[in-house]
Homo-oligomer: A and B are copies of this chain.
Amino acid sequence: MTSPDAAAIDHSREASDLRIAVFRLARRMRTQRAVDSMSDGQFAVLAALWVHGAHTLGELADRERVSAPAMTRTVNCLEENGYLTRSADENDGRKVVITLTDEGRGVVDETARRRDAWVEEALAEITPAERETLARAAEIMQRMVAR
Contacts and interface: CB of A to CB of B under 8 A. Distances in A.
Contacts of A130: 136, 140
In terms of DSSP, what is the predominant structure of the interface of chain A? helix
Interface in A8-25: 11-12, 14-25
Q: How many copies does the complex hold?
A: 2
A113 interface: yes
A35 B98 CA distance: 32
Interface string A3-47: 000000001101111111111111111110000000010001001
A147 B144 CA distance: 27
A14 B19 CA distance: 21
A138 B11 contact: no
Contact of A119 (B19, B25, B147): B19
A115 interface: yes
Interface of A: 11-12, 14-31, 40, 44, 47, 51, 65, 112-113, 115-117, 119-120, 122-126, 130-131, 133-145, 147
12 contacts: A11-B123, A12-B120, A16-B119, A18-B135, A21-B145, A23-B29, A24-B65, A24-B145, A25-B26, A27-B65, A125-B147, A136-B137
